[in-house]
Amino acid sequence: MYKYVIDGNFPLKGSVKTSGNKNATLPCLAATLLTDEPVTLKNIPEVEDVHVMIDILSVLGSKVEKIENNIYKIQTLDIKRHDIPADLSQKIRASILFAGPLLSRTGKVILPPPGGDIIGRRRLDTHFLALKELGARVDIDGLFTLQANKLKGVEIFLDETSVTATENAIMAAVMAEGKTIIRNAASEPHVQDLCNMLKQMGAVISGIGSNILIIDGVKKLSGTEFKISPDYMEVGSFIGLAAVTRSELVIEDAAPQFLRMTKVAFGKLGIHWETDKNNIRIPSGQELRVNPDIGGMIPKIDDAPWPGFPPDLTSIALVVATQVEGIILIYEKMFESRMFFVDKLIGMGARIVLCDPHRAVVSGPSRLKGSELVSPDVRAGMALVIASLCAEGQSTIHNVYQIERGYENITQRLQKLGARIKRVPEA
């Protein structure tokens, strides 16, 4: 186990390249089970969640070859087992993504309850309701057992716009008999990546990027070579970091087409940046001031399914708001425990009123002071890193495994920008 020791209140400078989208990588890894031919995935982030998914693939019978950093070749000639090992399943939420491809290829899957971030109740009902519509029988008795003699295309209306449930339904439908229409589908960039990869493998999918996906089942998928898109969540984190440390940073391969709502939301905090092709530059010394709504009303930043403001960036926005002059409401509508790291920021000196599990009113700017902290989840953990880098004095962050589940080589990359951060073993 490791911890981060951070000396804050120092400006940063330089450029950083965006890693591949972790949330796109995980379903794309699971989807390699849909073919017995080799699939090469490029721009894979070297993070803990990805390594656990690869471990699961190996247990299931996949041959996984690391060509070089960030490039993996996977081939699954035969699937050796139907069940996901509980010790691996409990490490990540994404273990649920094996339901669709295993059911499609073998007709059976046994899943222990998945792990992952504790950010509120994260229901699985949508997954199983969608797979039942396609013809699966679902038995829940501690474990989740799904079986199907044959999957058949059908019209599905998802009861919530769940990213992973959409992905499971897509992977189950691509080789189902007939046409499947998925309505109220999630359309995030990571869902688009999965669809585009499957199309390269021979799947017939239309409506990509919308909330209605039309899938014509095919009998067989082939291998392919696919590059994962940049992680726009990581880009948002670096934008927030640049703003609160008053630093000039260039973010390379930033995929600005995915940042439209992020730009709107961060604009409410006075943050702006310049775009140069696929890179963005955040100028130093920005005047961070809340832009009120018409009539001088207090504005809010609230998350929503794509193309709304990403829920994974609400923790980052909240920390940034502590350094901005004015009052703003941060409204996290989708997960009822994501705001529970606010007490750590208050302990550092932030002026925040936690109204309820979903809403926090932030009054800034506040002078944050270094503190002893514990990372509760991936995004809140990164938010605490950002808070520590703009705080006065030294901070220590424990449980950094949670941060490293989603951010590739984060300490080394921050050090190259001039951050005074060390990754040291726990005593």
> What are the residue numbers of the active site?
117
Question: Counting every residue, how long is the chain?
Answer: 427
Cα(129)–Cα(417) distance, rounded to whole angstroms? 47
Whole-angstrom CA distances from 229 to 25, 41, 57, 254, 379 are: 9, 11, 22, 10, 19
Cα(41)–Cα(220) distance, rounded to whole angstroms? 19
Per-residue b or e along 396-409, where b marks 16 or more CB atoms closer than 10 Å to that residue's CB? bbbbbebbbbbbbb
With CA atoms as reference, report the closest residue to 105 among 57, 195, 176, 34.
Answer: 34
With CA atoms as reference, report the closest residue to 104 among 85, 64, 76.
Answer: 76
Looking at the DSSP bridge assignments, the partners of residue 14 are 249
Cα(387)–Cα(345) distance, rounded to whole angstroms? 8
Sign of CA dihedral 269, 363, 340, 245: positive
Helix (H, G, I), strand (E, B) or coil at 354: strand
Whether cis (ω within 30° of 0) applies to the bond prior to 27 is no
Running DSSP on this structure, what letter comes out for residue 292?
Answer: P
| Beta carbons within 8 Å of 15's beta carbon, 6+ residues apart | 249, 250, 251, 252
| Beta carbons within 8 Å of 177's beta carbon, 6+ residues apart | 150, 151, 152, 153, 217
Q: Which segments of 118-231 does DSSP mark as H helices, in order?
A: 125-133, 163-173, 189-200
With CA atoms as reference, report the closest residue to 83 among 116, 56, 45, 118.
Answer: 56
